[in-house]
Every structure is written in C-alpha cells, then in structure tokens.
Amino acid sequence: MNDFPEVSVIITVYDRDKYIYSAINSVLNQTLDPSKYEILVVGKLENKEILDFLRRERIMFIENKERAIGPKIVDALKMAKGRIISFLEDDDLFHPDKLETVIENFSHDKKIGFMSHPLHIIDNENNHNTLSNTGYQSIYIDKNKPDKKERFLKAWKQGSKARYTASTVSILKDILVENIGYLQHVNFSPDSFYIFVSFKSKYNMIYSDRNLGDFRMSMHSLSKNLEELGNFIKHKKLYSFYFCLDYLNYKQMLQETELKQFITGASLFHKIYYNIYNSNRDNRCSLSMNEMFKWMMGIPDYSLKHWYDRFYPFISRMPWFIRLQFIKKSFERHRKGYLSLLEERSIS
C-alpha cells in the first residue's frame, strides 16, 4: 500500500463474487498516478482466489461480517491514509478518469469537502442504458451563500435520476471522522449519510455533470424481488425498517441545520412506509397521530410527488387486508418498470 496517498478508495463487499474483479480493476486502471491513491476492501469475503488477488495487488482487506454498512466504513476509516475518501460498491465501476477528476476538483477548490457525479446505468452484461447519459446539471453548494438550502434541494431532486449512490461520492476524511458516532449507526443508506453530513459541515459541495462511473442495475436482483408478491413484501419489510432507523439517525444529526424541516419530512416518509409494510411494529418507527396530521398538512422543504401521497398515513392504519391491496398496486408498478427495462435492453 502507498505510504502517503491523497485518496483512499473504500470498496464495500458483500460476499457476492461475480463482479468484484471488475470493480477492483476499474480502480486499478485509473489514469491517476498509482502512488496517489490506495484501495481498501471491507466486508464479508471468503473466496480464496479473490483474497489471493487482493494480496498480489497489495490491496488491504478488512473483514467485517456485519450486515450494516456504517460499521464497515468505520473500520475502513481507521486504516485509510488518504485525506479524501472515494467509495465504490462491489458491483459498480469507476471510469478511468474518475480519481484524476476528483483530485483536480479538490485541489482547485480548497473549500470543497464533497463531490458527487452522475452514473451510467449498466446491466449484468455491462450494456449501457442510453437514457442514463444526459440531462444532469452541475450544482455548486456554497455554504456562505443564502441559497445553499435551495441548491441542496435541487441536487436532491435530481439525485434519483442521476443515481447519486455511494459509488459517486468523494468526501474529506475529516468530515466522516467528526461524525463517526452517526456513521456507526448507518444501516443501508450510506449515500444519504454522506450527502447530509457534508451539508452539515463547513465545506462546500459540488455535484458534477460528468458521468464518472457505472451503476449496475442487477436484473437478477430485480427479478428475484419482483418474481412474486411474497418476495416483494419480504424485501420491503426489511428495507423499510432499516431505512426508518437510518433517517431517524439523520434527523438527530441535522436538527441544528437548515435541513431540519426537510429531514423531518424525509424521516416521517420512511416511518409511514415502514408502517404500511409491517404489522408487528418496532416502537422506534411507530407513527403518532400528531405525525399523521403534520404529514397531511404538508412539511416545509419536503415536497410530495403526488397529491394522494398525503393519504399514506391512513393506509398505514388500515387492517392488513386493505394495506395488501395498496401493496399489490405498488408491486404491479414496480413489475411494470422492471419489464420495461427488459424490453429496452432487448431493443438496444
């Protein structure tokens, strides 16, 4: 490993071996001088061939078998030497100029603490989704200007289409270390944490309009969750619970910031979804009548996609057989979107 790298690339792995070589090689084959970055792999990994490959390439492996992502990142941060941390999921890819562009941005503007960028969408065979390549605006969030919240909300709205996942994030290590207590409790939404904690910091944020990586939309995972209603419900039950906990964590973290109203709405949304999908409910994610009323009246800074979203809290209070009808409609919408992806892939 390098003694004085500028960037530490943290790759999180989940004992799914199919794409790990591609992910790691996309980092090894950067245009940036290899002496300027290091690679750390953290998570659950038991494939001997891959472990041998990491040793040959002098890549540090940090074993962490926890399901939650936050503790993995905390362990990796303890070993990371770079002042900048770039993240990569084990099934995504960096474009060759990703790290060189990161260094250029952080070196050119010393006030930057966070950088993100759009991702191309690829499938299991590395085929690109042609609709994922255009239409994103560059957004700079200057913490000394009064429109910083408005610019953040604009970037957040753009995020779902631009695929602002963890694999797009580069962030100063100091920002993460200062908030390690919150990071330790992150379950499945590290991308949101990196964005929120960067807004909370004194540093500026930049959302580039350049595609610098690939997001793998696994058709196998989608088909597994959408092949039948039971799998869909099981998946939603699990993830709605952990996202609820994550956003309650972020709500506490952002109470003294300009995002207080926004995170109140976002955390309440995840509470509502948890209550729709789960009957045996955890008290931490229970939904009060006051919260239901607040949602109905509307929460500043947190805009709803559809007018009928206002009625979701009432759906969560209905008997299971009524909620199941709502869930079936959601399942059908997701399946329709999945089938359209298959159709588009066959055409391209």
At 348 the pLDDT is 42
Phi/psi-derived region of residue 225, left when phi > 0, alpha when psi is between -120 and 50, beta in every other case: alpha
CATH fold of 7-216, please? Answer: Spore Coat Polysaccharide Biosynthesis Protein SpsA; Chain A (3.90.550)
At 346 the pLDDT is 47
Q: Decide if pLDDT at 11 tops 50.
A: yes
Q: Decide if pLDDT at 338 tops 80.
A: no
Q: CA 101, CA 286: separation in Å to the nearest integer?
A: 44
Q: Decide if pLDDT at 340 tops 80.
A: no
pLDDT digit string, tens, across residues 97-126? 999 999 999 999 999 999 999 998 888 888
Q: CA 203, CA 172: separation in Å to the nearest integer?
A: 9
Q: Decide if pLDDT at 56 tops 60.
A: yes
Q: Decide if pLDDT at 256 tops 60.
A: yes
The model's confidence at residue 68, banded by pLDDT at 50, 70 and 90, is very high
Say which residues have a Cβ less than 8 Å from residue 102's Cβ, sequence separation at least 6. 7, 84, 86, 115, 170
pLDDT-wise least confident of 137-141, 197-201, 331-335: 331-335
Q: Can you tell me the mean pLDDT for 137-154? A: 97
- The residue with greater pLDDT, 219 or 279, is 279
The rounded radius of gyration (Å) of the Cα atoms in the chain is 20
How long, in residues, is the chain? 348
Three-class SS state of 300: coil
Q: Is 4 exposed, middle or buried (0-12, 13-18, 19+ CB in 10 A)?
A: exposed
The model's confidence at residue 217, banded by pLDDT at 50, 70 and 90, is confident
Question: Which amino acid, residue 198?
Answer: S
Strands in 93-94's sheet, in edge-to-edge order, are 93-94, 213-216, 120-122
At 341 the pLDDT is 59
CA distances from 297 to 147, 182, 193, 271 (A): 25, 30, 27, 17
At 220 the pLDDT is 60
Q: What average pLDDT does the structure give for the chain?
A: 92
At 343 the pLDDT is 56
At 170 the pLDDT is 98
Q: CA 43, CA 70: separation in Å to the nearest integer?
A: 11
Q: Can you tell me the mean pLDDT for 244-249? A: 98
The model's confidence at residue 269, banded by pLDDT at 50, 70 and 90, is very high
- The residue with greater pLDDT, 3 or 91, is 91
Q: How far apart are the first and last CA of the chain?
A: 41
Q: Decide if pLDDT at 347 tops 80.
A: no
Please state the domain extents for the chain. 7-216, 219-347
Q: Can you tell me the mean pLDDT for 214-235? A: 82
Long-range Cβ contacts of 280-289 (<8 Å, 24+ apart): 282/241, 284/244, 284/245, 284/248, 285/241, 285/244, 285/245, 285/248, 287/313, 287/316, 287/317
Convert 45-72 to b/e letters by CB count within 10 Å (16 or more is b): beeeebeeebeeeebbbbebeeebbbbb
